[in-house]
Amino acid sequence: MTHEPPPKLVPTTNLASPSKQAAPQGLDPTAKLAAASDSAPLGLERELPALRALVAKLAPAGDVDDLVQEVVSRALRYRDTFDGRRALGPWLAKTALNVCVDHRARRARETTSHEPLEPAAAPDTRVEEREHVAVLLAKLSRVERDVLVRFHQCGESVREIAAALGLAEGTVKSHLCRARKRLAEERP
């Protein structure tokens, strides 16, 4: 019994001239992109429904089509990094996750840079808020408080916090999760 090697991911047509290829009619733009790019060796068409469902869970409804198209575009651009011996779905899922994270970061930068500054709160209100936060933080354990403050106020990563406190990264994540949960329970 002979075992066939996995199919090569190199396209059989020139991707620089997709206009020479006829995309099937009646497909959405993402499917047309996948078909026009000779992605048959990758099998993107079969993965589109699952990919669309994943992106719909990760992104706002109005952005899903654009993000799916970006995922397909990146998949085609970086198809040489795909290991044909592995399943395509997880590779596309990771690509989708990266696209959605990039989209959120880009949107956050745009939102913060274009919003007008709100007038500062009255001094009395800020003092009350600080006192309230101090009371809430005092209810946390020392480790939970330290992890929460380092992460949210100082902007340290989980890895940096773990190194500074001599804890495993998973333990830092657990403390962070517990601290957030306890603070959420204290909300009015």
| pLDDT value, residue 119 | 59
Could you give the percent of the chain with pLDDT greater than 70? 70
Contact indicator for 161, 172 with CB cutoff of 8 Å: yes
87 against 32, higher pLDDT: 87
Average pLDDT (117-134) is: 71
Long-range contacts of 175-178 (CB under 8 A, 24+ apart): 175/143, 175/144, 175/147, 175/148, 176/144, 176/147, 176/148, 176/151, 178/144
Contact indicator for 156, 164 with CB cutoff of 8 Å: yes
What domains does the chain contain, in order, with CATH numbers?
Answer: 24-114 (1.10.1740.10), 123-186 (1.10.10.10)
In the numeric block, which tokens belong to residue 32?
A: 């047309």
d(CA 173, CA 179): 10
pTM: 0.43
108 against 141, higher pLDDT: 141
Q: Is 8's pLDDT higher than 50?
A: no
| pLDDT value, residue 4 | 53
| pLDDT value, residue 170 | 94
d(CA 56, CA 41): 26
- The mean pLDDT value of the chain amounts to 76
12 against 106, higher pLDDT: 106
Q: Which SS3 state, helix, strand or coil, does residue 94 take?
A: helix
| pLDDT value, residue 39 | 44
pLDDT digits (tens, 9 = 90+) for 146-158: 998 888 888 888 9
